[in-house]
Structure 1
């Protein structure tokens, strides 16, 4: 698996997964589930990180299991998204796939 060293690499990997589409989320770029329109990954304003959209249970587990790679700011506390530091794939690609499955299983997002 390729490195996920910056937003372009993360977006390219996520966009290569079946069932994804490039779009926007709160005015910024995003890779979303094609079936639900829900975000899977988005860039972060935090340096050297991207945002992975998961449910709260998976988020809590990742924060516990990968504390050197996965983190959050107070902005993300209580929200179903976690920050992931750019770097080698080392399993993060599988979590992007899981985020896609979770996004696809949710009802279609309402238009804003």
Structure 2
């Protein structure tokens, strides 16, 4: 593991998607693509989402002791603008940017 990603950081997008808080996920060295690299051809409708990535200088483990925001901040080596490549399980899927209350049934 090389860090963590923060997703759904936009309050407007969270409201639109019915999500109440940002999510987090681990980043491993196998997930990194260098500039000029291509995504795997088996991805279905790959799309790119902006994310915030945090590279850690020390590991965090909440299984043995509570981890508060000060501990997390001290463990962060740097924050980076990232692009997450996502893909769909369904071909032909379209994401609708209209708010939930304006989506036609």
TM-score band, normalised by the shorter chain? under 0.3
Higher-Rg structure is 2
What is the TM-score normalised by the length of structure 2?
A: 0.25
Of Structure 1 and Structure 2, the greater helix share is in 1
TM-score using structure 1 length? 0.24
